[in-house]
Structure 1
């Protein structure tokens, strides 16, 4: 049996509206790679599981404990790929994404985890204007304060499985910021890199005007390594 190169992990809680878009983009990925797609249903109450079951070759896991940390932990536990790619259920990847990721890892073996930036595929005008004005300064600050130990986010993050296995894994108790926490752990074993040419596209639902102050607050908590274990709203509920 050929070695699985990429395991793509998709945590999903009540994502019937977006999951189809995600699957359509995954089917268009280019590159002669053996890959697996794992959807982790995080105790959804809608048709998320049914939609995932309809996709040929998709592995469906169930995690009753709500939270991205527990869902990502379960998905990674069962992943068999050399590289583990985490995205969100509303993430759409460009066709050449995997080729680009593989090239980066091949060119610099010291990279443990990498990520890129996101764009909105359904943004209104003000969101298109404000995204770069907020994103780039916050990312610069985050990288500076953390000593380049964090950066890649769960909607666009890929790491080496062997490096992940050296860590404690995704913290199932963390409700938000589980992606930055695992980056900090992996930074002990390799570089955490951001490549702004590595793009993904997501929905703008989390970035409505009424959510901005909340999101900035979460950003600073995560940036200074504060573990958010209280019952913050699921991203689908923002």
Structure 2
């Protein structure tokens, strides 16, 4: 990874206490067969372990972001990026040797495109997680082939021209680094999807169980949060808490219950606001 000249790519890796995973991530980036210039920026998002030191040992540029959350961290890393193209990924993700080369080929085939996204495959974890990811990205690919429109991207595998990027929406919390970024980029040009160029991400979050991932992670912190925050124009639901393997089953069960309760309350509030707005409109 040479950084003597302005690089073609900057790979941005946000990190909060990722010393277990960051080494494998950076080693796989160092083994890329891309012949051009690229740099790796690791964003230290208030780490209290050896993440930042490990990143420096592997030759990454380390920048700090004090505001907690993956969106502020990605924003900080993207601002610091010197590359023509910013590539978003995660610290618990690894890549095959041709990953960057295939991204480069995609941009060179269509110089007018502003972004190219790819799928994410879970490594390890429960079987249903791998099935879920496979179905999700096959559906994304099918719709893209049918309509030319990318409906969803994963923040572990999207590359975009820096001059087409105007910053992450830091008020949007959950989803701002995926759906929010996708909407921004689609407004600026063509976004394409390459199903043949996956990233490989740890399935550690899936070990909390199917119910947790459907109810808490997806429904509450993603679908409901994105919708509710967009309707109200303010971050009523924040970003999901960072995953840690030391979480206790009893705590997880309580969190699921609280998520259901909060979802019911939030949907009631949204419904009430929509009804009130419809009455105002009728008057």
Report the TM-score when normalising by structure 1: 0.85
Structure 1 partner of 2:159:
158
Relative contact order, higher structure (CA 8 A, sep 6+): 1
Structure 2 partner of 1:176:
174
Q: Which runs of 5+ in 1 are unaligned?
A: none
Rg (Cα) greater in structure: 2
Shifted more, 151-160 versus 220-229: the winner is 220-229
Structure 2 partner of 1:186:
185
1:231/1:221 Cα in 2 relative to 1: closer, same or farther (>3 Å)? closer
1:121/1:226 Cα in 2 relative to 1: closer, same or farther (>3 Å)? same
1:184/1:77 Cα in 2 relative to 1: closer, same or farther (>3 Å)? same
The Cα shift of 1:222 comes to: 7.0
SS of aligned partner of 1:66: coil
* C-alpha distance in structure 1 between counterparts of 2:7 and 2:243, whole Å: 31
Structure 2 partner of 1:199:
198
* C-alpha distance in structure 1 between counterparts of 2:129 and 2:9, whole Å: 32
* C-alpha distance in structure 2 between counterparts of 1:187 and 1:130, whole Å: 25
Residues 126, 206 of structure 2: 8 Å contact kept: no
Greater share of strand: 1
Residues 67, 172 of structure 1: 8 Å contact kept: no
The Cα shift of 1:20 comes to: 1.1
Residues 120, 200 of structure 2: 8 Å contact kept: yes
Instruction: Provide the alpha-carbon RMSD of the alignment.
Output: 2.8
Greater share of helix: 2
Report the TM-score when normalising by structure 2: 0.73
Structure 2 partner of 1:234:
241
1:17/1:142 Cα in 2 relative to 1: closer, same or farther (>3 Å)? farther
* C-alpha distance in structure 2 between counterparts of 1:162 and 1:41, whole Å: 24
